[in-house]
Structure 1
Amino acid sequence: MGYRLGIDFGTTFTAAAVHRDGEQVTELVPLGDNRAAVPSVVFVAPDGGMVMGDAAARRAVTDPDRVIREVKRRIGDETPLLIGGLPIEAHTIAACFVRWVVDRVSEREGARPEGLALTHPASWGRHKCALLTSALVEQGIATVRLVPEPAAAAFAYAASRDVPPGAAVGVYDLGGGTFDAAIVRRLPDGGFVLAGRPEGIESLGGVDFDEAVFAHVRAAVGPQWTGLDFDDPLVRTAAAALRRECTEAKEGLSADTEVTIPVMLPGVSMRVRMVRTELEQLVAPAIAETVEALRRACASADVRAQDLAAVLLAGGSSRIPLVAQRVSAELDRPVTVDADPKSVVASGAALSIAPVVVSPVTSPVPERTVVVPAPSSRWSRRGLAITAGIAACLVAVVATASTVGSDLTDSGTPVGSADTSDLPREVVDRAPVGEPGETDPWTGEPYRETTPPGPRRPGAKPAQTTPESLTPAPTTGGDRADQIAGNPPPTQTAPTTGAPGSESNHDGDIVRSSDTPSQTPPPVGESDPPVVSEEPSVPPPDDPPVDSSTEPPPPPPEDPPGETTGETTGETSETP
């Protein structure tokens, strides 16, 4: 199966993606050891051989003098690079790196690509593009299509979203070593074209942010840093490892708010803490320059910011949260960040050379067919669930009604038919008060004693209670006057059994009074004060005590057992 290859040769990382025949999406090719992107690092051996990618980055720890970084920034420079005493031009090293990527992908796919697209900054002129193209021909790559990086990012965006023809899209590409700002327009055939003059800053990118973090760490180390001997290979190796730690700290602050950078140098061992706010303060001036460059690109394309269909953020450094905040606030437009900004340009490059079939419309369509989209399966399942729930509720209601109807009606009588059994049943106990009926009116069963009866005195009978006996007797307030004057409380007489001159209290007990009963209470302070009982009455014992403050009364006449005559009240009460 044929495929097309797109390569994004960046200042710090390089990514590649393939687009196969008959497919709508691209696939990233893993170039690195454990990730798709590979470092754009070249190691030049003493014999002139070159090692690329992760292997070259590992050798930079031991032989940093033979490692070339950020070669993309040197393309177009007339002064060659001097590596181990050997001069090498920058575009030649870049072409060798691209050839290494093509060979690696061809080995993985089993064939050479049918087409090759290579991205470049939008600010490049014809001179730099011609130098790179001639160097690729020397490496055996005769056919290549150079695609501006903003246009490639727009191709990747249009693959997942609908961009109508003529729509303007702003591209903010902040990579590892360069920055590009451009406005692209969608063509009727599905392609993109640059609108106006792209704006770029060639010496601004992620490596500059890495250097700012590295300077922050050097300031934290203090005078000990200046005392290091950088001619010592051990010191140079430790400094290279510290630079890698600073790069990882910058990338980590895009997702976390705080990182710790270990500093392991000869004679220096410490940790430097850094928060996201400190990084934003370091990079804020550079980000402000990029926003102004994007404004200039809009003015060059004669497009207002509010007329942009979208603003795309590409490049690994665009993942810094401050970038999205500033761009969205300055342009008052929502921004779109790809899940993997480092590879979005490579995917767009592969899509830019994919065959596109466009059917131009030469005349108006006489008839329009309106296709109503079918409801999604999610809503269908929801409708079925609601219908099943309603049916279950109806079944439960019918079952409950049937159960209740059969319980309230006789067997054989249909639910809802007129029947005397549907009338309210008699639940009132018509038996006299104090004499319960033989059966419980609620259950229809004989009464059962749930609590065993307590002991009773022989011959005890309940007292007859009348409304008059339940009425409280009036008080004169003498007790309160005695308490205020400091007089002793009145003496209560001991209760006795039935005798002349006695009366019953509210509980049916007999209370001793004077021999000559009187309806009017005696004056306060006399020998026989009125009986005031504040404590609950206590049932009289068999042999009540005799009050020593008064003389013992004469023996009462014998009355029939169980009866006593109350002369003070004129009532007959039964006593035990």
Structure 2
Amino acid sequence: MPYVLGIHVGATATSAAIARRDGGRWGAATPLPLSSTGHTVPTVLCRVQDGSFVAGEQASRQELTHHEWVVRGFTRQVGDEAPLLVGSEFISAQALVAAVVEWVADTVAHQLGHPAEHITLAHSATWGPFRVHLVRQALAQLGLRDVTLVPEPVAVALDYASKQQVAEQDAVAVANIGGTGFDATVLRRRAPGFEVVGSTLDTDHPSGQDLDDEVFSHLLGEFDEQLDGLDAADPGHRAALAALRGDCTRAKEALSYHPGSTVRIELPGLRTDFAVSRARYEQLAQPHLERVPELLLQAVQSAAVAPEDLTALVLAGGTARTPLLKRLVAERLERTPQVDSAPELVAARGAAASAVSVLSGVNERPESVAETSVLVRVEGPGALDVIDGEPEREAPPRPPVQVEPMYLEPPDEDRQRMFKILKLTAAALLIIGGLVLTIVQTVGGTSAPSSPIQTQQR
């Protein structure tokens, strides 16, 4: 059955979703598992001997033993002049992003038996046209030329609009708490998609990793004396600590659903279970999560939109399911945020919805324009609405401008005739002068030999 593929390459996790076509109709976008353990995989690559890449959990397992061939955290380095060293070769960040897309596309094609009819990539909200162009070039080098790129907030809004009614001109705020940072964007509905209003607010904190670090540090603090003997240079000790931190991340995620969770500690000389309550976790997380409502409010204000004028406020990213975060946002902005049951997958689903729109012919704008619909829009009196680089409505009429024609003196025919006569006269005089000079020289030259003869006669 034909399908389109939506891919979200996040800073720490990658996900995918597909939409199938049954006859002339497209079904809803649904997430597709990329591993045997879940829908998402780590955004990690490992270079293998033949020069290709493996990604996800398989690449993560190589990090402890062959760390020089493993690379992560490259999505924020797209467009940097300095490439990344992977093994013995320098590779640009955009080439690594393209490698992740290729790996996901191949993995999905292997599961479903054939490749997708179209691919849409949801990328970081901070990428501008230059970075998008670099990633597009890197994809083309891998043979992936039919790929649409959309910003992550647009993909999230598209996923929300596929489930809830969003009228034309309605404003939607999207806040994404990713693994390595936070961004907030206000968008306005412009069927069939959305346009960015104002500018995206982006910051490194808070992030999912900040909360992981809090739980991990809390656990290490409880067993500080028992852990003093660990050697960071020992590969076995490093592997045990990495596994423990992963368990802390899973416990943090479980606390979004349950009042408590347990972390299994298996370290040299220490084997036990450590219980973490939601109340304790919220105490650790609150200093970080308290920043989200304030940052979101700044993004709304930068778009010249009042919080009460928002049609929806959507939280995305795995941290969005934290009950404390939803309470803090609701109290500060006085409205209940919308959080999907799987907020870490909404960008991939929205990317798949965008791919459906492309194949359905709804968006007939040129591909190069349609894929960079993140132009900053400034609203104000007399401002011109611009969508994807094209005027959406006619600008207000400008006041009439009167331009006085420059006066040019009409040509004087008598003066021109006189000037021509003077030029011809000067030319004739030059010719006559040249002839006279030539005759004089000739006469003088023929009489010169007679002088000695005359002298001899004397």
TM-score grouping bracket, smaller chain normalisation: 0.7 to 0.9
Determine the structure 1 residue equivalent to 2:293.
291
Q: Which amino acid aligns with 2:116?
A: P
> What is the rounded CA distance, in whole Å, between the counterparts of 1:108 and 1:199 in structure 2?
38
**Percent identity of paired positions between Structure 1 and Structure 2:** 39
> What is the rounded CA distance, in whole Å, between the counterparts of 2:20 and 2:271 in structure 1?
52
1:232-272 C-alpha deviation (Å, 9 max, x unpaired) = 11111111111111111111111122222222222333443
Q: Confirm or deny that 1:80 pairs with 2:83.
A: yes
> What is the rounded CA distance, in whole Å, between the counterparts of 1:271 and 1:35 in structure 2?
24
Q: Confirm or deny that 1:163 pairs with 2:166.
A: yes
Determine the structure 2 residue equivalent to 1:131.
134
Query: CA 1:46/1:277 → structure 2, altered by over 3 Å: closer, same or farther?
Result: farther
The root-mean-square deviation of aligned C-alpha atoms, in Å, is 2.4
- CA positional deviation for 1:54: 2.3
- CA positional deviation for 1:168: 0.7
Q: 1:193 aligns with which of 171, 192, 195?
A: 195
> What is the rounded CA distance, in whole Å, between the counterparts of 1:74 and 1:204 in structure 2?
19
Asked whether the equivalents of residues 42 and 51 of structure 1 are also in contact (C-alpha less than 8 Å), the reply is yes
> What is the rounded CA distance, in whole Å, between the counterparts of 1:274 and 1:237 in structure 2?
22
Determine the structure 1 residue equivalent to 2:30.
27
> What is the rounded CA distance, in whole Å, between the counterparts of 1:168 and 1:289 in structure 2?
22
Determine the structure 1 residue equivalent to 2:237.
235
- CA positional deviation for 1:155: 0.8
Determine the structure 2 residue equivalent to 1:269.
271
Alignment of 1:113-512 (within 5 A): 113-187=116-190, 189-202=191-204, 204-355=206-357
Asked whether the equivalents of residues 54 and 103 of structure 2 are also in contact (C-alpha less than 8 Å), the reply is no
> What is the rounded CA distance, in whole Å, between the counterparts of 1:203 and 1:78 in structure 2?
25
> What is the rounded CA distance, in whole Å, between the counterparts of 2:297 and 2:350 in structure 1?
24
> What is the rounded CA distance, in whole Å, between the counterparts of 1:322 and 1:37 in structure 2?
24
Query: CA 1:44/1:357 → structure 2, altered by over 3 Å: closer, same or farther?
Result: closer
Q: Secondary structure at the match of 2:26?
A: coil
Alignment of 1:23-62 (within 5 A): 23-45=26-48, 48-60=51-63, 62=65
Q: Which amino acid aligns with 1:4?
A: V
Asked whether the equivalents of residues 175 and 318 of structure 1 are also in contact (C-alpha less than 8 Å), the reply is no
Asked whether the equivalents of residues 19 and 351 of structure 1 are also in contact (C-alpha less than 8 Å), the reply is yes
Whose Rg is larger? 1
Greater share of strand? 2
Q: TM-score, normalised by structure 1?
A: 0.58
Q: Confirm or deny that 1:7 pairs with 2:7.
A: yes
> What is the rounded CA distance, in whole Å, between the counterparts of 1:63 and 1:254 in structure 2?
34
Which structure would you say has the larger RCO, counting Cα contacts within 8 Å and 6 or more residues apart?
2
Asked whether the equivalents of residues 46 and 84 of structure 1 are also in contact (C-alpha less than 8 Å), the reply is no
Q: Which amino acid aligns with 1:36?
A: H
> What is the rounded CA distance, in whole Å, between the counterparts of 2:33 and 2:4 in structure 1?
16
Greater share of helix? 2
Unaligned runs of 5+ in 1: 359-576
Q: Which amino acid aligns with 2:135?
A: L
Q: Which amino acid aligns with 1:6?
A: G
Further displaced range: 263-272 or 291-300 = 263-272
> What is the rounded CA distance, in whole Å, between the counterparts of 1:226 and 1:86 in structure 2?
37
**How many pairs were matched up?**
358
Determine the structure 2 residue equivalent to 1:395.
none
> What is the rounded CA distance, in whole Å, between the counterparts of 2:205 and 2:78 in structure 1?
12
Query: CA 1:134/1:204 → structure 2, altered by over 3 Å: closer, same or farther?
Result: farther
